[in-house]
Structure 1
Amino acid sequence: MPNEALHLGPASQLRYELVREGEARMHMRLPEDVESYLVFVLHRHQGDAQLGGRTMALECLHGLECVGTARCDALRDVGDRCLLIAGLFPALARRRNVGPDYYASLGQAAYPEVAVLARAGQASLFVQLAHGFVAMRHVLAGVAAQVRTCGSPSSRAALLESGPSAGH
């Protein structure tokens, strides 16, 4: 796909194209449900200016103390945010004196907990996300590399809106 295509269309199409570019760069293809969820994560956490200042272990502990829907939502957020840090912003992890693998482990452990609490239709998705966490992380690393090396200014802006620019 030519780089010019990255900046065409609505923001959701841009995120989808970025994920596809990341898959191509990393020579992998995510299952459709996982790919769609990854696009959703990019959309949902777009502009999360607090991402770099969050202490994910404490957020995970807080989530484990919650019950019901609050627990499910909190742990889903932990998984999603850890995925973004491990895949898109690994330098953020290193600045905090932990490696991206720390965030990957924490995030990957959160999704099965969500699966236990989620509605039947969503439970299988979160099991799939836990199993596909490493692949999603690699795709996000491909997205970051693609944008850094040959992305247009608008594609860079879209990626940077999804989290801290210092993470690159």
Structure 2
Amino acid sequence: MFDAIHTGTPAQVWQALVKEAGERNRWPLDETHESYLVFLLLRYQREPWLLSHVHGVDWMEAMQRVGSARAEGLREVGDRCLVVAGLFPELAERRRVSVEYFMDIGRSAYQGVADASRQAYAALYRQLSQSYRELVGTLRAMRLLSAPELIRIPGHGQG
């Protein structure tokens, strides 16, 4: 499996990492959760400002919006908190907060998306909120599987 992790398109590489991490973690994700993580990782792999956000403030600002703007803002907060809690827990240490802080904000943000959205979209984000800990666990397992060059802090020494 490790060769598959190093070859292929970015989507194939992330998918291989997510699958392997889920299996090793003994929490294999269903197709919906797996796909969500892969697309999340694709979206944030080149995000130079990912770690510069103050997630609690972003959550409060998103909660002040209405309709689809609220849902979009909360989704972004939930996604960023998921990436930080799973792939960059050292950021929490540097900010003197626990990883649980990021997980609580992220889980709450996804629940907020579910509350602000229509049926199918709401159901997805309700599921993501309920399985947030497992998603973080899968990302943490990916850290252990991947070569150090695969997972770097965005904006810190990558090409």
Query: TM-score when scaled to structure 2?
Result: 0.92
| Contact 1:22–1:142 under 8 Å retained in 2 | yes
Higher percent of residues as helix: 1
Asked if residue 51 in structure 1 is aligned to residue 45 in structure 2, the reply is no
Distance 1:165 1:119 in 2: 38
Match for residue 152 of structure 2 among 144, 160, 166: 160
Question: Which residue of structure 2 lines up, in the alignment, with residue 72 of structure 1?
Answer: 71
Deviation at 1:165, TM superposition (A): 5.8
Letter paired with 2:74: L
1:29 aligns with 2:21: no
2:60 aligns to what SS in structure 1? helix
Q: Is the 8 A contact 1:23 1:29 kept in 2?
A: yes
Find runs of 4+ consecutive structure 1 residues off by over 3 angstroms: 163-166
Give the partner amino acid of 1:4: D
Question: Once the 2 structures are TM-superposed, how far is the Cα of residue 44 of structure 1 from its aligned partner?
Answer: 1.3
- Taking structure 1 as reference, are residues 67 and 42 closer, same or farther at Cα in structure 2, changes over 3 Å only? same
Change in Cα spacing, 1:107 to 1:84, as seen in structure 2 (3 Å) is same
How many residue pairs get aligned? The number is 157
Identity %: 36
CA contact (8 A) 2:19 2:29 kept: no
SS at match of 2:96: coil
- CA shift digits 1:1-51 (9 cap, x unpaired): 2x1111211111111111112112212111211111111111111212112
**Distance in 1, Cα, partners of 2:126 & 2:156:** 30
Hey, what's the Cα distance between the residues in 1 that align with 2:13 and 2:156? Answer: 18
Q: Distance in 2 between matches of 1:70 and 1:28?
A: 33
The answer to whether the 8 A contact 1:19-1:39 is kept is: yes
Q: Relative contact order: is structure 1 or structure 2 higher (C-alpha 8 Å, sep ≥ 6)?
A: 1
CA distance in 1, matches of 2:130, 2:155: 26
- Residue 61 of structure 1 is matched in structure 2 by 60
State how 1:5-154 maps to structure 2 within 5 Å: 5-147=4-146, 151=147
- Structure 2 residue runs of 5 or longer lacking an equivalent are none
Contact 1:25 1:146 in 2 (8 A): no
**Normalization by structure 1: what TM-score?**
0.87
Q: CA shift at 1:160, angstroms?
A: 2.5
Gaps of 5+ in 1: none
Question: 3-state SS of the aligned residue for 1:47?
Answer: coil
1:122 Cα offset (Å): 1.1
8 Å contact from structure 1 (residues 22, 143) kept in 2: yes
Could you say if the C-alpha distance between residues 134 and 165 of structure 1 is closer, same or farther in structure 2, counting changes exceeding 3 Å?
farther
- AA in 2 matched with 1:23: G
